[in-house]
């Protein structure tokens, strides 16, 4: 995807994520009814309604391109594999959303030939917006859900890049709800001087703008959890690998679109030895 195509898609999606963000903010802190999916993960009306907004927007902007979205998958089942498709998580960080934490995000990514080539990540409660605008170009800016922005030109966007890691003083971000002992074992192999727990894909945003150096995640995640952040991080200069050091790929239909354990790196992998136990 070249810069012209990426910018056109981002411009078109801006009103979509703003609408989804306003919807989510109308539910945030409002005493939600929480249901449980088959895997016992929580879901709310905000998740479902935001997904409807995003699916309608993608059908208008990219008709015919398949969309794999978290709540649709739950209700209709997994689709067949495709070489080009969107991955959508309408409300990443539902547990934190229910608890009143503001780090939840809207994630939209475009995958082509197993790689994320476009990503948009929006944290409406924090007014924190990220997007890729072409190969090697990631941007970040403040975007209030209530604003009247109709295009990217209406937002003060800044180009963001990852930082060069100091191997003697690394900063890590970790999952707030899924901090496994194996994650701690992985971090213990590095000189990590500070660690911040965050919910949602906002962790990728921190890496992309140079606020942290690595994000290890052991245990299962779904492709829609990581794809938008992965695209953003790659455009800003970072890397996402499996624990074995292979690039994290997408479209894993045979694995039900589940990711293996992975590490997001601000730059190239700093892996030492093998994977953690």
pLDDT exceeds cutoff 50 at 188: yes
- Separation of alpha carbons 194 and 218, rounded Å: 19
Burial pattern 163-192, b for ≥16 Cβ within 10 A else e, equals bebeeeebbbbbbbeebbebbeebbeebeb
Average pLDDT of span 235-259:
95
Percent of the chain with pLDDT over 90: 78
Average pLDDT of span 73-95:
83
- Separation of alpha carbons 237 and 192, rounded Å: 21
Average pLDDT of span 189-214:
95
Q: Each residue of 18-60: pLDDT tens digit?
A: 999 999 999 998 777 778 776 767 788 999 999 999 999 999 9
112, 1 in Cβ contact below 8 A?
A: yes
Structure-block tokens of residue 108? 């939209």
* Other C-beta atoms lying within 10 Å of the C-beta of residue 267: 17
What's the start-to-end Cα distance of the chain, in Å?
38
* Other C-beta atoms lying within 10 Å of the C-beta of residue 61: 15
Q: How would residue 275 be classed by pLDDT, with cut points 50, 70 and 90?
A: very low
- Separation of alpha carbons 172 and 212, rounded Å: 6
pTM of the model: 0.94
pLDDT exceeds cutoff 50 at 277: no
pLDDT exceeds cutoff 50 at 276: no
- Separation of alpha carbons 55 and 198, rounded Å: 27
Structural domains in the chain plus CATH codes: 3-160 (3.30.540.10), 170-265 (3.40.190.80)
Q: Quick one: pLDDT at residue 180?
A: 78
């Amino acid at each position: 995807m070249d810069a012209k195509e990426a910018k056109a898609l981002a411009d078109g999606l801006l009103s979509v994520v703003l609408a989804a963000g306003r919807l989510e903010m109308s539910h945030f802190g409002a005493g939600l009814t929480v249901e449980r999916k088959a895997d016992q993960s929580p879901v709310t009306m905000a998740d479902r309604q935001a997904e409807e907004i995003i699916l309608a927007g993608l059908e208008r902007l990219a008709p015919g391109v398949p969309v794999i979205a978290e709540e649709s998958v739950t209700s209709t089942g997994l689709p067949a594999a495709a070489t080009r498709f969107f991955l959508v998580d309408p409300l990443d960080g539902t547990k934190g959303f229910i608890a009143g934490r503001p780090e939840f995000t809207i994630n939209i990514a475009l995958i082509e030939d197993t790689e994320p080539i476009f990503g948009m990540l929006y944290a409406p409660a924090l007014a924190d917006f990220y997007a890729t605008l072409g190969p090697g170009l990631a941007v970040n800016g403040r975007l209030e859900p209530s604003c009247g922005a109709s295009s990217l030109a209406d937002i003060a966007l800044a180009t963001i890049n990852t930082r060069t890691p100091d191997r003697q003083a690394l900063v890590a971000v970790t999952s707030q709800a899924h901090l496994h002992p194996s994650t701690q074992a992985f971090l213990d192999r590095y000189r990590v001087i500070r660690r911040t727990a965050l919910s949602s894909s906002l962790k990728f945003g921190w890496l992309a703008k140079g606020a942290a150096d690595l994000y290890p995640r052991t245990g299962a995640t779904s492709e829609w959890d990581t794809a938008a952040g992965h695209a953003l991080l790659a455009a800003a200069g970072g890397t996402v690998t499996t624990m074995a050091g292979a690039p994290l790929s997408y479209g894993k239909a045979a694995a039900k679109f589940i990711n293996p354990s992975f590490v997001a790196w601000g730059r190239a992998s700093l892996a030492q030895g093998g994977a953690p136990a």
